[in-house]
A = this chain, B = another copy of it.
Amino acid sequence: MPVQPSALLTDLYQFTMLQGYLEQGMEETAVFEFFVRKLPPNRGFLMAAGLESALEFLETVHFTPQEVDWLAASGRFNRRFLDYVAGFRFSGEVHAMPEGTVFFPDEPILRLTAPIPQAQLVETRLINLLHYQCLVASKAARTVLAAPGKLLVDFGLRRAHGAEAGLLAARAAYIAGFSGTSNVLAEREFGVPCYGTMAHSFVQAHDDETAAFEHFARAQPDNVVLLIDTYDTEAAARKVAELALRLRRDGIRTKAVRLDSGDLGAHARAVRRILDQGGLPEVGIFASGNLDEFAVRELVSGGAPIDGFGVGTRMLTSADAPYLDCAYKLEEYAGQPRRKRSEGKATWPGRKQVYRNYDGAGAMERDVLTLDGDAHAGQGLLRPVMGQGRRLGPAVPLTESRALAALELGRLPEPLRRLGVSPPYPVEVAPALRELAAAVDARPV
């Protein structure tokens, strides 16, 4: 992660509540869990991402003296509050599902245990980091399922919602199985491989389209991907066919052409024919322009001769479902399980664990949501990752999370691999958890 933003990037109510907790001397241990309440329409599963960013945030979050002064000058806070934030560091525990894990509604993907002032104070940014990366990884995973064996590149930085969205999306999409990104900073910060071609403006700035192609190729002989839809796609493909032979004589290989508008499938077929007839079967076709998993699936299943896709805006904004109904909720305080009962937003109390079971072929079969300590068959998905405010091990390399995601997508039950509606994956709530919820509800408030 690049520099975390100021600890003031939070909701004011975290501060007003903190002052309340401190005034009452309420500093006992709280357990909060981050989970998604329900799936977006037409989605069958979600993919966990953002944990490393969250852990880095927890390890580093603090208030600078200037920030404390500014809070003091606002006149909103008392001395006790200001002293607390001046010395604030996170010292709690975290259990979490590894990045790349497939998960379902009501399953916590992160459980945080810390004195309540700390656990509360980190809420906003934790949600902000986890929500967006889960959102993009979940969307990107669908594109990966729709385009087996194709090169997939994130092209979305420009219309991502701000700088950090562009950066975190490149990371999340790579975990989910994308090959790389157009975003240079994502390569530097995260090691996500970076891809780049050319824009229409490069062609437009030349009076002659062929000259534009040739200039680009000679300036970038190792990365010749030519954008051919600025004026007339097939006409440009013929220019490329002629040029590529000349370039070949000079030892320059034309890697691919890029299509960015019109009927991509029809253009791809026509362009493939032109390239093949020109003796250029090795020149690939790369397509972009308003793509998402549905468009990619249609092109792939229609047999369009396209070797790779640039997927941008619709993935980085998760356009069909631009947010997840997620929450970070208090499940236990001072040893007592807690539960919110708001209409439509009730939560399961207590510290929880998720057990996953697989069928004989290795496909996910059912999950059990239960209390931590109530052992069930299957694999426990939440593991300890932070203690006393420090990671328990080295940061997980992105390639490892990516490998896990690939394994997870391979284990998805067949109906969930489709892009449309599927029967919900079974997540059973264990009797121990139901009993605890009933007991909590019986307490007066």
Contacts and interface: CB of A to CB of B under 8 A. Distances in A.
A336 to B, nearest CB: 7
Copies of this chain held together in the complex: 2
B8 A196 contact: no
A184 interface: yes
Interface in A64-105: 67, 70, 74, 76
A442 interface: no
Contacts of A20: 198, 202, 215-216, 219-220
Contacts of A218: 23
Nearest to A75: B222
Contact of A204 (B23, B215, B330): B330
Interface in A220-256: 220, 222-223, 229-232
Contacts of A3: 3
A123 to B, nearest CB: 8
Interface in A125-181: 125, 127-129, 131-132, 135, 155, 157-169
A349 to B, nearest CB: 9
Contact of A343 (B131, B220, B229): B229
A333 interface: yes
Interface in A387-407: none
A427 interface: no
Contact of A19 (B26, B70, B220): B220
A326 interface: yes
A6 interface: yes
A443 B208 CA distance: 10
A277 to B, nearest CB: 22
A281 interface: no
Given A2-B5, A165-B165, A340 B11 contact: no
Contacts of A183: 9-12
B8 A184 contact: yes
Contacts of A231: 341-342, 445
Given A165-B165, A200-B329, A216-B17, A159 B342 contact: no
Interface stretch (A41-49, A314-322, A354-362): A314-322
A13 B196 contact: yes
Interface in A330-353: 330, 333-334, 336, 338-345
Nearest to A67: B188
7 contacts: A11-B196, A13-B197, A14-B196, A128-B160, A200-B340, A318-B322, A319-B322
